[in-house]
A and B are shown apart, each in its own frame.
Chain A
């Protein structure tokens, strides 16, 4: 492979300084002349018929401006997300406690919140559903369509009943997982600024600026070219800023349109908990069959996600879960049925891993049980069954060369000392130590279900002072996109890294590039940048060559372009000088690029065909200590290995890995959002706890880079991969340590304690 100057190097983050010094301007930091503030009026109960909304008392609050309800919507009162069942503001019925029913606009944020608390909603309570399994029962109260099913998928292959009948070993189990809250540092927020001529500019904390564009244009009834979305520095997303920022921004825009003044809407933490998206609670019944040699012959899965009151992203989340539901194994007979059920609770949506962690917890826990029945070590058992290059997945997709799963498993096995530890868990006093394993795969990008959105644009502009500006349609949200994409641009142009700037998304500068999700940004925007930069690169390189030969360089030697300098035969010329010469020759120094994901062949009817273009892979081993008296689990160390293709920035990749592991471990052990009778009980960080540095395990992280020919500099995607396999590795380690098989996440001490009491 060619020698690279910037890609593959741990270059400093482009946004490190502004974030470390506090100079970064988040949505709440922006001010506009004449700006007003909005606050939401929320439904108090799980399901209500709205009889009237009165601002009679709210009007008395000094600074009160107006009330905004569905009557103020000039466009269509349907938020254009996948299935369009969520109104921007409800007209007759509100379907979950915390749903925005109306908005109050006032002179200050404080006055707006005060006035919102004084708006009176007269309502009649309607029968509601809070349990997704009960929602699917025949006699259930119908809150969504005729069966409360938001969405459903199948994967069917071979003869599962036959395989189970012939099996030497079978296992079956029911597993469940709870919500996860994104816990981004920056809550949701947006500012809408009306423009002369009827347009609207929206500043939004978002990972999907084009979803915001779709929604604001729809709510205001404006053509797209009159709406401009500017992504503000975004303080964390993790999927929580995929769909819902569009709703928040539309609300701000409705207020701005009605008042004719800029309106800021910044969420408090409690309302953010109550109304913004979450990781879906999951329930699954999984069964595996194996032959006497320990080869998996069949897998049967029923998988249910709790979608909440509106569909939002549930169909796509469920589809990803469906495709990956059997785990990264060769299985000839498969019967997977999945459902997203509606309940009168907060709509669940995207969260790092996107429908995979829930089912991965179930199936990887059960794989350990199956290995036990077959009398095999869990790692040996996995190695017998793992997908390797050339193998077919459960959707019959043949995997190409970029598949390093077996190597990952071997690496983790060796580094963790698995063979010594797994067979001999230790007990010292009340503390039992154990080790657990998991393996996972992850389809990079949107796949067959999201194929129409799987494209991205870029605009690369080399100014005459040789500084380079890059616009993309995918967002920085802390994951490092601005840095990694700048490395790709610098590499392609041979421009000094310091001279390249990638901007936060401006929807007017690049075409709709789809969402910043599915670990797709490096791949999609990276390829779009390469396409844009390549013609400029040719001009720059040709100009450099002619300058060098003009300087008397020995043209029999090859020109070398590295680190922002062009050299040949003892002469050299910097990028800056070459760019100046390009401009003096009136060459075109700005270009657009575009990348569309290759075709997929997946059929919804039977779930067969290519589901994703390419997969990334992970293996995890977790070492835990379980207190046998209290049931408290402490994760001591996680060994993980990833194949995410070429690593563009090793330090950022390591950060992604550590963050993903910790977030996965936190979900596995601690995070417990509680609903009681359709009301969220702990919408705060006092009682919804996430892991802190005091809980952090030791990390041992290995990257095995299997190059992906279609990827930018052979990269795949990484962001979500490290989270997925953590929970089952921890659960398997608890089982290994003390014999307790806990089948629900979070793996709370109370649950371990109860299992231990059973003996």
Chain B
């Protein structure tokens, strides 16, 4: 842990303080990744900037076209949020798969995105939800599709000191599923995870978005599979064809957590089960 943790009271104060802080600094929100890295000796910043209580990053708000989820909202708050329950079925389905109840009380979606791990359950779900991410650096704001935030494992398009304000999920009636294979029933890093958002007209998929965790260098939006699914009718054949397509879209690796060939096939199994769950 660094010698110094700064805790500005507002965004304005943050931008004012930053230039005076040690150059080697990182944002601290829930701390569930940062403190773990620190315990493992992998975190060496001289200063952490605690943004967890910044009012601008907290709360879930509804606008006319989107749900805005503040980046410092705790994951456990999502389950209790009426707009999330109404408009974000994939994210809601991912929450029980996100770490453990005690970690969900600490962890934030902003941290989940900033950490840029390909296995991030919250991010994977939000990518399927077609979320955009709002960023701020000093007075400058910008907005990106969330899937474009990631450039590799632990690498993002974030500039130095750029802050994630929150996520916008468009308000479109849809359904969805989040299926994950981890090392045990709950509370584990996925070997493969599939997030599926779908707009249905009867049994016809008018729109689909598939995102996958832990099977590519980034939380992966499966563009080809998503596109192929649009307009299809839910059936065993559709599920099987989508499964084989998604297997060609992922690029999993073999590591201490699982094996490439297994992960690839599981993407197909999970997607076809996700589609079947919509049909049911």
A binds B: yes
A695 at the interface (CB under 8 A from B): yes
**A695 & B188 in contact (Cβ 8 Å cutoff):** no
**A686 & B36 in contact (Cβ 8 Å cutoff):** yes
Question: Whole-angstrom distance from the CB of B256 to the nearest CB of chain A?
Answer: 4
**B185 & A270 in contact (Cβ 8 Å cutoff):** no
Contact with A670, one of B40, B184, B258 (Cβ below 8 angstroms): B184
Contacts of B184 in A (CB 8 A): 669-670, 689, 691-692, 694-695
Within 8 A of A (CB), among B255-272: 256-259, 262, 265-266, 269
A709 at the interface (CB under 8 A from B): no
User: In the bound complex, how far is the Cα of B191 from the Cα of A689, in angstroms?
Assistant: 13
Contacts of A749 in B (CB 8 A): 181, 262
Question: Whole-angstrom distance from the CB of B230 to the nearest CB of chain A?
Answer: 26
Which secondary structure dominates chain A's binding surface?
Answer: loop
User: In the bound complex, how far is the Cα of B184 from the Cα of A670, in angstroms?
Assistant: 7
User: In the bound complex, how far is the Cα of B256 from the Cα of A694, in angstroms?
Assistant: 23
Determine, out of A567-575, A596-604, A628-636, the stretch whose residues face the partner at the interface: A628-636
Contact flag A753-B186 (CB < 8 Å), given A674-B256, A687-B256: no
**A630 & B256 in contact (Cβ 8 Å cutoff):** no
Which secondary structure dominates chain B's binding surface?
Answer: loop
Contacts of A117 in B (CB 8 A): 41
Contact with A694, one of B185, B189, B257 (Cβ below 8 angstroms): B185
A158 at the interface (CB under 8 A from B): no
Within 8 A of B (CB), among A224-271: 268-270
Within 8 A of B (CB), among A687-737: 687, 689, 691-692, 694-695
**B41 & A630 in contact (Cβ 8 Å cutoff):** no
Contact with A750, one of B41, B100, B259 (Cβ below 8 angstroms): B259
Contacts of B15 in A (CB 8 A): none
Contact with A632, one of B40, B181, B259 (Cβ below 8 angstroms): B181
Within 8 A of A (CB), among B89-123: 100
B173 at the interface (CB under 8 A from A): no
User: In the bound complex, how far is the Cα of B183 from the Cα of A689, in angstroms?
Assistant: 7
**A269 & B186 in contact (Cβ 8 Å cutoff):** no
B20 at the interface (CB under 8 A from A): no
| Chain B: interface size category | 20 to 34
Contacts of A140 in B (CB 8 A): none
Interface string of B240-267 (1 = CB under 8 A from A): 0000000000000000111100100110
Within 8 A of B (CB), among A623-647: 629-632, 634
Contacts of A694 in B (CB 8 A): 184-187
A587 at the interface (CB under 8 A from B): no
A126 at the interface (CB under 8 A from B): no
Contact with A630, one of B181, B185, B187, B188 (Cβ below 8 angstroms): B181
Interface string of A657-694 (1 = CB under 8 A from B): 00000000000011010101000011010110101101
User: In the bound complex, how far is the Cα of B256 from the Cα of A674, in angstroms?
Assistant: 7
**A753 & B262 in contact (Cβ 8 Å cutoff):** yes
Question: Whole-angstrom distance from the CB of B177 to the nearest CB of chain A?
Answer: 16
When C-beta atoms are compared, the residue in chain A nearest to B186 turns out to be A694
Contact with B262, one of A268, A634, A750 (Cβ below 8 angstroms): A750
User: In the bound complex, how far is the Cα of B112 from the Cα of A26, in angstroms?
Assistant: 34
Contact with A687, one of B41, B189, B266, B269 (Cβ below 8 angstroms): B189
**A684 & B40 in contact (Cβ 8 Å cutoff):** yes
**A270 & B41 in contact (Cβ 8 Å cutoff):** yes
Question: Whole-angstrom distance from the CB of B268 to the nearest CB of chain A?
Answer: 9
Contacts of B266 in A (CB 8 A): 630
Contacts of B269 in A (CB 8 A): 629-630
**A681 & B183 in contact (Cβ 8 Å cutoff):** no
Contacts of A670 in B (CB 8 A): 183-184
**A687 & B40 in contact (Cβ 8 Å cutoff):** no
Contacts of A669 in B (CB 8 A): 184
User: In the bound complex, how far is the Cα of B254 from the Cα of A676, in angstroms?
Assistant: 13
Contact flag A686-B262 (CB < 8 Å), given A117-B41, A749-B181: no
**B258 & A750 in contact (Cβ 8 Å cutoff):** yes
**B41 & A692 in contact (Cβ 8 Å cutoff):** no
B39 at the interface (CB under 8 A from A): yes
User: In the bound complex, how far is the Cα of B269 from the Cα of A343, in angstroms?
Assistant: 40
Question: Whole-angstrom distance from the CB of B226 to the nearest CB of chain A?
Answer: 22
Question: Whole-angstrom distance from the CB of A269 to the nearest CB of chain B?
Answer: 7
**A682 & B256 in contact (Cβ 8 Å cutoff):** yes
When C-beta atoms are compared, the residue in chain A nearest to B266 turns out to be A630
7 CB < 8 A contacts A-B: A117-B41, A634-B185, A684-B40, A687-B256, A692-B184, A695-B186, A750-B258
Measured CB to CB, the residues of A under 8 A from B are: 117, 268-270, 629-632, 634, 669-670, 672, 674, 676, 681-682, 684, 686-687, 689, 691-692, 694-695, 749-750, 753
Besides A669-B184, A689-B188, A692-B100, 13 other A-B contacts (C-beta < 8 A): A630-B266, A631-B262, A634-B185, A670-B184, A681-B256, A682-B256, A687-B189, A687-B256, A689-B183, A692-B186, A694-B186, A695-B184, A749-B262
Instruction: Please provide the 5 A-B residue pairs with the shortest distance between their CB atoms, ordered closest to farther.
Output: A694-B186, A694-B185, A674-B256, A689-B183, A629-B269
